[in-house]
Amino acid sequence: MSDSPASPRRGLRSLLVDLEPVRRDRDFRMLWLGQLVNGLGRQVTVVALPFELWQLTHSSLSIGLLALVQLVPILIFSLGGGAVADAVDRRLLLLGTQALLAASSLCLVVLAAQSAPPIWAFYVVAFIAAGIGAVDQPTRTSAIPRLVPRERVQAAIAVNWLSGQTVSVAGPVAAGILIATAGVATAFAFDVVTFMASLLALFLIAPIPPHPGASRPSLHSIAEGLRFARDRRIVMGTFAIDLDAMIFGMPSSLFPQLALTVFNTGAAGYGLLNAAPAIGALAAAAFSGWLNRVRRPGRGVIAAVAGWGIAIVGFGLLTASFPLALVCLAVAGAADVVSAVLRASIVQLATPDRIRGRVSSIHSLVVTSGPRLGDAEAAGVAALAGPQFSVLSGGVMCLLGLLVVVRRFPEMLGYELDHTALDSLVPDPSA
Protein backbone atom coordinates (compact mmCIF):
# COMPACT_ATOMS: atom_id res chain seq x y z
CA MET A 1 0.00 0.00 0.00
CA SER A 2 2.82 2.39 0.77
CA ASP A 3 4.11 2.14 -2.77
CA SER A 4 0.79 2.86 -4.44
CA PRO A 5 0.95 6.70 -4.25
CA ALA A 6 4.28 6.63 -6.05
CA SER A 7 3.08 4.26 -8.75
CA PRO A 8 1.61 6.99 -10.99
CA ARG A 9 4.86 8.93 -10.70
CA ARG A 10 6.90 5.87 -11.60
CA GLY A 11 4.57 5.23 -14.52
CA LEU A 12 5.03 8.80 -15.76
CA ARG A 13 8.80 8.59 -15.42
CA SER A 14 8.81 5.43 -17.52
CA LEU A 15 7.22 7.41 -20.34
CA LEU A 16 9.70 10.31 -20.26
CA VAL A 17 12.94 10.50 -22.24
CA ASP A 18 16.01 9.43 -20.25
CA LEU A 19 18.40 12.39 -19.80
CA GLU A 20 21.26 10.35 -18.33
CA PRO A 21 23.54 10.83 -21.38
CA VAL A 22 23.28 14.62 -21.00
CA ARG A 23 24.04 14.47 -17.27
CA ARG A 24 26.82 11.87 -17.28
CA ASP A 25 28.65 11.99 -20.63
CA ARG A 26 30.55 15.26 -21.06
CA ASP A 27 31.45 15.05 -24.75
CA PHE A 28 27.94 14.00 -25.70
CA ARG A 29 26.58 16.87 -23.59
CA MET A 30 28.81 19.39 -25.37
CA LEU A 31 27.89 18.08 -28.81
CA TRP A 32 24.20 18.01 -27.87
CA LEU A 33 24.20 21.57 -26.51
CA GLY A 34 26.03 22.92 -29.56
CA GLN A 35 23.62 21.13 -31.86
CA LEU A 36 20.64 22.41 -29.86
CA VAL A 37 21.67 26.06 -30.27
CA ASN A 38 22.72 25.70 -33.89
CA GLY A 39 19.64 23.63 -34.67
CA LEU A 40 17.50 26.62 -33.77
CA GLY A 41 19.37 28.76 -36.29
CA ARG A 42 19.19 26.09 -38.99
CA GLN A 43 15.44 25.82 -38.54
CA VAL A 44 15.13 29.59 -38.98
CA THR A 45 16.94 29.31 -42.32
CA VAL A 46 14.83 26.30 -43.36
CA VAL A 47 11.74 28.45 -42.90
CA ALA A 48 13.14 31.76 -44.16
CA LEU A 49 14.57 30.55 -47.48
CA PRO A 50 11.32 29.33 -49.11
CA PHE A 51 9.54 32.40 -47.73
CA GLU A 52 12.08 34.65 -49.45
CA LEU A 53 11.67 32.76 -52.73
CA TRP A 54 7.90 33.09 -52.53
CA GLN A 55 8.21 36.83 -51.89
CA LEU A 56 10.48 37.19 -54.92
CA THR A 57 8.55 34.96 -57.34
CA HIS A 58 5.00 34.44 -55.96
CA SER A 59 5.19 30.94 -57.40
CA SER A 60 4.88 27.62 -55.57
CA LEU A 61 6.97 26.10 -58.37
CA SER A 62 9.97 28.14 -57.20
CA ILE A 63 9.76 26.37 -53.85
CA GLY A 64 9.31 23.00 -55.51
CA LEU A 65 12.44 23.75 -57.54
CA LEU A 66 14.28 24.56 -54.30
CA ALA A 67 13.40 21.09 -53.01
CA LEU A 68 14.77 19.47 -56.17
CA VAL A 69 17.93 21.59 -56.09
CA GLN A 70 18.56 20.43 -52.51
CA LEU A 71 17.75 16.83 -53.37
CA VAL A 72 20.44 16.46 -56.06
CA PRO A 73 23.49 16.91 -53.78
CA ILE A 74 21.84 14.73 -51.14
CA LEU A 75 21.60 11.92 -53.67
CA ILE A 76 25.19 12.49 -54.77
CA PHE A 77 26.95 12.88 -51.43
CA SER A 78 24.94 10.99 -48.76
CA LEU A 79 26.27 7.50 -49.44
CA GLY A 80 29.85 8.69 -49.79
CA GLY A 81 29.47 10.85 -46.69
CA GLY A 82 28.78 7.79 -44.55
CA ALA A 83 31.81 5.99 -45.94
CA VAL A 84 34.04 9.01 -45.28
CA ALA A 85 32.69 9.38 -41.73
CA ASP A 86 33.82 5.82 -41.00
CA ALA A 87 37.36 6.48 -42.25
CA VAL A 88 38.36 9.84 -40.69
CA ASP A 89 38.29 11.67 -37.36
CA ARG A 90 34.63 12.58 -37.08
CA ARG A 91 35.31 15.59 -34.87
CA LEU A 92 37.56 17.17 -37.50
CA LEU A 93 35.07 16.35 -40.25
CA LEU A 94 32.26 17.99 -38.28
CA LEU A 95 34.38 21.09 -37.69
CA GLY A 96 34.85 21.38 -41.44
CA THR A 97 31.21 20.82 -42.37
CA GLN A 98 29.94 23.22 -39.71
CA ALA A 99 32.31 25.96 -40.83
CA LEU A 100 31.22 25.55 -44.44
CA LEU A 101 27.53 25.57 -43.49
CA ALA A 102 28.11 28.81 -41.55
CA ALA A 103 29.70 30.33 -44.66
CA SER A 104 26.70 29.30 -46.77
CA SER A 105 24.32 31.02 -44.35
CA LEU A 106 26.49 34.14 -44.50
CA CYS A 107 26.06 34.12 -48.28
CA LEU A 108 22.28 34.07 -47.77
CA VAL A 109 22.60 37.14 -45.53
CA VAL A 110 24.41 39.02 -48.29
CA LEU A 111 21.85 38.00 -50.91
CA ALA A 112 18.80 38.84 -48.81
CA ALA A 113 20.22 42.27 -47.93
CA GLN A 114 20.14 43.29 -51.61
CA SER A 115 17.13 45.12 -53.01
CA ALA A 116 16.89 42.86 -56.06
CA PRO A 117 18.94 39.72 -55.42
CA PRO A 118 19.47 37.23 -58.26
CA ILE A 119 17.10 34.32 -57.63
CA TRP A 120 19.49 31.78 -59.13
CA ALA A 121 22.05 32.61 -56.44
CA PHE A 122 19.72 31.35 -53.71
CA TYR A 123 19.51 28.02 -55.51
CA VAL A 124 23.30 27.80 -55.83
CA VAL A 125 23.78 28.39 -52.09
CA ALA A 126 21.02 25.89 -51.29
CA PHE A 127 22.70 23.30 -53.52
CA ILE A 128 26.07 23.73 -51.82
CA ALA A 129 24.61 23.72 -48.29
CA ALA A 130 22.61 20.55 -48.99
CA GLY A 131 25.75 18.79 -50.22
CA ILE A 132 27.67 19.76 -47.09
CA GLY A 133 24.76 18.69 -44.91
CA ALA A 134 24.69 15.30 -46.64
CA VAL A 135 28.17 14.68 -45.19
CA ASP A 136 27.50 16.37 -41.85
CA GLN A 137 24.41 14.34 -40.93
CA PRO A 138 25.76 10.75 -41.08
CA THR A 139 28.98 11.95 -39.44
CA ARG A 140 27.09 13.42 -36.49
CA THR A 141 24.80 10.39 -36.17
CA SER A 142 27.62 7.85 -36.25
CA ALA A 143 29.57 9.82 -33.62
CA ILE A 144 26.97 9.24 -30.89
CA PRO A 145 27.92 5.61 -30.05
CA ARG A 146 31.51 6.78 -29.57
CA LEU A 147 30.50 9.43 -27.00
CA VAL A 148 28.35 7.34 -24.66
CA PRO A 149 28.64 3.80 -23.23
CA ARG A 150 26.60 1.03 -24.78
CA GLU A 151 23.87 1.05 -22.17
CA ARG A 152 23.07 4.71 -22.90
CA VAL A 153 23.10 4.66 -26.71
CA GLN A 154 19.33 4.36 -27.02
CA ALA A 155 18.80 7.12 -24.46
CA ALA A 156 21.22 9.39 -26.34
CA ILE A 157 19.31 8.83 -29.57
CA ALA A 158 16.03 9.65 -27.81
CA VAL A 159 17.50 12.84 -26.34
CA ASN A 160 18.63 13.87 -29.82
CA TRP A 161 15.10 13.36 -31.11
CA LEU A 162 13.73 15.50 -28.30
CA SER A 163 16.16 18.36 -28.96
CA GLY A 164 15.50 18.14 -32.68
CA GLN A 165 11.77 18.49 -32.16
CA THR A 166 12.29 21.31 -29.67
CA VAL A 167 14.13 23.43 -32.22
CA SER A 168 11.60 22.41 -34.87
CA VAL A 169 8.96 24.09 -32.71
CA ALA A 170 10.98 27.12 -31.66
CA GLY A 171 12.72 27.66 -35.03
CA PRO A 172 9.64 28.37 -37.18
CA VAL A 173 8.18 30.63 -34.49
CA ALA A 174 11.47 32.52 -34.22
CA ALA A 175 11.65 32.73 -38.00
CA GLY A 176 8.15 34.18 -38.22
CA ILE A 177 8.99 36.81 -35.60
CA LEU A 178 12.37 37.70 -37.16
CA ILE A 179 10.96 37.93 -40.68
CA ALA A 180 7.99 40.04 -39.58
CA THR A 181 10.00 42.43 -37.39
CA ALA A 182 13.51 42.60 -38.88
CA GLY A 183 13.41 40.99 -42.33
CA VAL A 184 14.71 37.83 -43.95
CA ALA A 185 18.36 38.93 -43.93
CA THR A 186 18.26 39.17 -40.13
CA ALA A 187 16.81 35.67 -39.94
CA PHE A 188 19.73 34.31 -41.96
CA ALA A 189 22.18 36.30 -39.81
CA PHE A 190 20.73 34.69 -36.70
CA ASP A 191 21.63 31.30 -38.18
CA VAL A 192 25.24 32.41 -38.74
CA VAL A 193 25.60 33.46 -35.10
CA THR A 194 24.29 30.13 -33.77
CA PHE A 195 27.05 28.27 -35.60
CA MET A 196 29.47 29.71 -33.05
CA ALA A 197 27.95 27.44 -30.38
CA SER A 198 28.31 24.34 -32.54
CA LEU A 199 31.92 25.09 -33.47
CA LEU A 200 32.86 25.87 -29.86
CA ALA A 201 31.35 22.58 -28.68
CA LEU A 202 33.34 20.64 -31.29
CA PHE A 203 36.56 22.34 -30.22
CA LEU A 204 35.92 21.31 -26.61
CA ILE A 205 35.28 17.60 -27.14
CA ALA A 206 37.92 14.90 -27.58
CA PRO A 207 38.91 13.60 -31.03
CA ILE A 208 36.77 10.83 -32.51
CA PRO A 209 39.30 8.86 -34.59
CA PRO A 210 38.16 6.10 -36.95
CA HIS A 211 37.94 2.53 -35.73
CA PRO A 212 41.20 0.59 -36.32
CA GLY A 213 39.35 -1.83 -38.56
CA ALA A 214 37.61 0.84 -40.63
CA SER A 215 37.82 0.38 -44.39
CA ARG A 216 38.74 3.12 -46.79
CA PRO A 217 35.77 4.69 -48.58
CA SER A 218 35.25 3.17 -52.01
CA LEU A 219 32.53 2.34 -54.50
CA HIS A 220 32.86 -1.31 -53.47
CA SER A 221 32.14 -0.56 -49.80
CA ILE A 222 29.18 1.65 -50.73
CA ALA A 223 27.81 -1.10 -52.99
CA GLU A 224 28.06 -3.61 -50.14
CA GLY A 225 25.80 -1.46 -47.99
CA LEU A 226 23.32 -1.05 -50.82
CA ARG A 227 23.20 -4.80 -51.40
CA PHE A 228 22.55 -5.46 -47.73
CA ALA A 229 19.67 -2.97 -47.62
CA ARG A 230 18.19 -4.49 -50.78
CA ASP A 231 18.37 -8.05 -49.48
CA ARG A 232 17.26 -7.36 -45.88
CA ARG A 233 13.57 -6.92 -46.64
CA ILE A 234 12.55 -5.55 -43.24
CA VAL A 235 15.08 -2.74 -43.67
CA MET A 236 13.91 -2.05 -47.22
CA GLY A 237 10.32 -2.03 -45.96
CA THR A 238 11.08 0.79 -43.52
CA PHE A 239 12.64 2.81 -46.34
CA ALA A 240 9.64 2.24 -48.63
CA ILE A 241 7.05 3.18 -46.02
CA ASP A 242 8.89 6.40 -45.12
CA LEU A 243 9.17 7.42 -48.78
CA ASP A 244 5.44 6.80 -49.22
CA ALA A 245 4.56 9.04 -46.26
CA MET A 246 6.93 11.84 -47.22
CA ILE A 247 6.47 11.94 -50.99
CA PHE A 248 2.69 11.94 -50.95
CA GLY A 249 1.88 13.39 -47.55
CA MET A 250 4.45 16.17 -47.02
CA PRO A 251 2.83 19.56 -47.86
CA SER A 252 5.39 21.93 -46.30
CA SER A 253 6.28 23.55 -49.65
CA LEU A 254 2.72 24.86 -49.76
CA PHE A 255 2.87 26.58 -46.37
CA PRO A 256 3.87 30.03 -47.74
CA GLN A 257 1.04 29.94 -50.28
CA LEU A 258 -1.48 28.59 -47.77
CA ALA A 259 -0.53 31.16 -45.12
CA LEU A 260 -0.62 34.13 -47.48
CA THR A 261 -3.49 33.26 -49.85
CA VAL A 262 -5.74 30.64 -48.17
CA PHE A 263 -5.58 31.26 -44.41
CA ASN A 264 -4.56 34.94 -44.85
CA THR A 265 -2.41 34.81 -41.72
CA GLY A 266 0.81 36.39 -43.06
CA ALA A 267 4.33 35.62 -41.86
CA ALA A 268 3.18 34.78 -38.32
CA GLY A 269 0.73 32.20 -39.64
CA TYR A 270 3.43 30.79 -41.89
CA GLY A 271 5.61 30.28 -38.83
CA LEU A 272 2.75 28.52 -37.01
CA LEU A 273 2.13 26.18 -39.95
CA ASN A 274 5.76 25.14 -39.82
CA ALA A 275 5.73 24.86 -36.02
CA ALA A 276 2.51 22.84 -35.65
CA PRO A 277 3.90 19.45 -36.81
CA ALA A 278 6.93 20.01 -34.60
CA ILE A 279 4.72 20.76 -31.58
CA GLY A 280 3.00 17.40 -32.00
CA ALA A 281 6.35 15.74 -32.61
CA LEU A 282 7.84 17.36 -29.51
CA ALA A 283 5.00 16.04 -27.35
CA ALA A 284 5.38 12.56 -28.82
CA ALA A 285 9.17 12.61 -28.37
CA ALA A 286 8.93 13.82 -24.76
CA PHE A 287 6.65 10.89 -23.90
CA SER A 288 8.28 8.27 -26.11
CA GLY A 289 9.45 5.98 -23.30
CA TRP A 290 6.61 3.55 -24.02
CA LEU A 291 8.09 2.83 -27.45
CA ASN A 292 10.86 0.82 -25.76
CA ARG A 293 8.21 -1.78 -24.89
CA VAL A 294 6.89 -2.22 -28.43
CA ARG A 295 7.77 -5.76 -29.52
CA ARG A 296 6.43 -5.62 -33.09
CA PRO A 297 7.65 -2.23 -34.35
CA GLY A 298 6.64 -2.91 -37.96
CA ARG A 299 2.99 -2.86 -36.96
CA GLY A 300 3.62 0.32 -34.99
CA VAL A 301 5.17 1.96 -38.05
CA ILE A 302 2.18 0.99 -40.19
CA ALA A 303 -0.26 2.41 -37.63
CA ALA A 304 1.77 5.63 -37.29
CA VAL A 305 1.94 6.20 -41.05
CA ALA A 306 -1.81 5.57 -41.30
CA GLY A 307 -2.30 8.22 -38.62
CA TRP A 308 -0.03 10.58 -40.54
CA GLY A 309 -2.04 10.14 -43.76
CA ILE A 310 -5.39 10.61 -42.02
CA ALA A 311 -4.14 13.78 -40.32
CA ILE A 312 -2.94 15.23 -43.64
CA VAL A 313 -6.34 14.47 -45.20
CA GLY A 314 -7.93 16.31 -42.27
CA PHE A 315 -5.61 19.28 -42.81
CA GLY A 316 -6.67 19.43 -46.46
CA LEU A 317 -10.36 19.37 -45.52
CA LEU A 318 -10.12 22.01 -42.79
CA THR A 319 -8.64 24.98 -44.62
CA ALA A 320 -11.65 27.04 -43.50
CA SER A 321 -10.46 26.80 -39.88
CA PHE A 322 -6.86 27.75 -39.18
CA PRO A 323 -6.84 26.44 -35.56
CA LEU A 324 -8.26 23.02 -36.56
CA ALA A 325 -5.81 22.83 -39.45
CA LEU A 326 -2.97 23.40 -36.98
CA VAL A 327 -4.31 20.59 -34.77
CA CYS A 328 -4.24 18.21 -37.73
CA LEU A 329 -0.63 19.13 -38.46
CA ALA A 330 0.27 18.56 -34.79
CA VAL A 331 -1.30 15.09 -34.90
CA ALA A 332 0.66 14.36 -38.09
CA GLY A 333 3.89 15.44 -36.39
CA ALA A 334 3.25 13.15 -33.42
CA ALA A 335 2.58 10.20 -35.73
CA ASP A 336 5.77 10.97 -37.66
CA VAL A 337 7.94 10.76 -34.52
CA VAL A 338 6.44 7.40 -33.53
CA SER A 339 7.15 6.09 -37.02
CA ALA A 340 10.67 7.52 -37.06
CA VAL A 341 11.72 6.08 -33.69
CA LEU A 342 10.38 2.62 -34.50
CA ARG A 343 11.92 2.63 -37.98
CA ALA A 344 15.29 3.62 -36.55
CA SER A 345 15.07 0.75 -34.05
CA ILE A 346 14.37 -1.72 -36.83
CA VAL A 347 17.28 -0.50 -38.96
CA GLN A 348 19.70 -0.45 -36.02
CA LEU A 349 18.91 -3.94 -34.74
CA ALA A 350 18.56 -5.60 -38.14
CA THR A 351 21.97 -4.38 -39.38
CA PRO A 352 25.35 -5.88 -38.36
CA ASP A 353 27.88 -3.42 -36.97
CA ARG A 354 30.41 -3.88 -39.76
CA ILE A 355 28.15 -2.11 -42.27
CA ARG A 356 25.95 0.01 -40.01
CA GLY A 357 27.60 3.26 -41.09
CA ARG A 358 26.80 2.62 -44.74
CA VAL A 359 23.26 1.46 -44.03
CA SER A 360 22.79 4.51 -41.80
CA SER A 361 23.83 6.65 -44.76
CA ILE A 362 21.11 5.03 -46.86
CA HIS A 363 18.66 5.65 -44.04
CA SER A 364 19.76 9.28 -43.89
CA LEU A 365 19.38 9.55 -47.67
CA VAL A 366 15.81 8.29 -47.47
CA VAL A 367 14.89 10.51 -44.53
CA THR A 368 16.31 13.69 -46.09
CA SER A 369 15.31 13.12 -49.73
CA GLY A 370 11.74 11.99 -49.07
CA PRO A 371 10.49 15.36 -47.76
CA ARG A 372 12.14 17.18 -50.67
CA LEU A 373 10.49 14.89 -53.18
CA GLY A 374 7.27 15.53 -51.29
CA ASP A 375 7.79 19.29 -51.53
CA ALA A 376 8.27 19.00 -55.28
CA GLU A 377 5.21 16.74 -55.68
CA ALA A 378 2.99 19.00 -53.59
CA ALA A 379 4.14 22.15 -55.41
CA GLY A 380 3.61 20.57 -58.83
CA VAL A 381 0.07 19.43 -58.02
CA ALA A 382 -0.70 22.83 -56.45
CA ALA A 383 0.40 24.61 -59.62
CA LEU A 384 -2.07 22.49 -61.63
CA ALA A 385 -5.02 22.16 -59.25
CA GLY A 386 -4.48 24.49 -56.29
CA PRO A 387 -2.91 24.05 -52.85
CA GLN A 388 -5.97 22.61 -51.09
CA PHE A 389 -6.41 19.83 -53.65
CA SER A 390 -2.68 19.13 -53.46
CA VAL A 391 -2.79 18.61 -49.68
CA LEU A 392 -5.94 16.46 -49.76
CA SER A 393 -4.85 14.27 -52.67
CA GLY A 394 -1.44 13.78 -51.06
CA GLY A 395 -2.99 12.44 -47.88
CA VAL A 396 -5.20 10.04 -49.82
CA MET A 397 -2.28 8.83 -51.94
CA CYS A 398 -0.25 8.26 -48.75
CA LEU A 399 -2.94 5.92 -47.40
CA LEU A 400 -3.25 4.06 -50.70
CA GLY A 401 0.54 3.79 -50.92
CA LEU A 402 0.63 2.36 -47.40
CA LEU A 403 -1.56 -0.53 -48.52
CA VAL A 404 0.81 -1.19 -51.42
CA VAL A 405 3.89 -1.18 -49.15
CA VAL A 406 2.31 -3.57 -46.65
CA ARG A 407 1.34 -5.94 -49.46
CA ARG A 408 4.84 -5.73 -50.95
CA PHE A 409 6.63 -6.10 -47.59
CA PRO A 410 4.48 -8.35 -45.37
CA GLU A 411 7.55 -8.73 -43.12
CA MET A 412 6.54 -5.39 -41.59
CA LEU A 413 3.59 -7.12 -39.88
CA GLY A 414 5.51 -10.01 -38.36
CA TYR A 415 8.92 -8.56 -37.47
CA GLU A 416 9.69 -8.78 -33.75
CA LEU A 417 12.32 -6.55 -32.21
CA ASP A 418 15.18 -8.29 -30.41
CA HIS A 419 16.55 -5.89 -27.80
CA THR A 420 19.07 -8.49 -26.64
CA ALA A 421 20.98 -8.03 -29.90
CA LEU A 422 21.78 -4.39 -29.12
CA ASP A 423 25.04 -4.95 -27.25
CA SER A 424 26.51 -7.00 -30.08
CA LEU A 425 25.54 -4.42 -32.67
CA VAL A 426 26.59 -1.15 -31.02
CA PRO A 427 30.34 -0.44 -31.22
CA ASP A 428 32.26 0.03 -28.00
CA PRO A 429 32.90 3.79 -27.54
CA SER A 430 36.28 3.00 -25.99
CA ALA A 431 37.41 1.05 -29.06
Q: Where are the domains of the chain?
A: 18-418
**Is 341 a residue whose pLDDT tops 90?**
no
Contact 86, 146 (CB under 8 A): no
pLDDT at 427: 39
Write down the pLDDT at residue 81: 81
Instruction: Tell me the average pLDDT of the chain.
Output: 84
- Sign of the alpha-carbon torsion through 111, 114, 118, 119: positive
Find the length of the chain.
Answer: 431
Of the pLDDT bands very low, low, confident and very high (cuts 50, 70, 90), residue 388 is: confident
Cα–Cα distance, 226 to 189 (Å, whole number): 39
**Residue 414: Cβ within 10 Å count:** 10
- What single letter denotes the amino acid at residue 109? V
The answer regarding whether domain 18-418 maps to CATH 1.10.260.40 reads no
When pLDDT is averaged across residues 271-292 and rounded to a whole number, the result is: 81
Band of residue 4 on the pLDDT scale cut at 50, 70, 90 = very low
Mean pLDDT of 291-313: 88
More confidently predicted of 264 and 97: 97
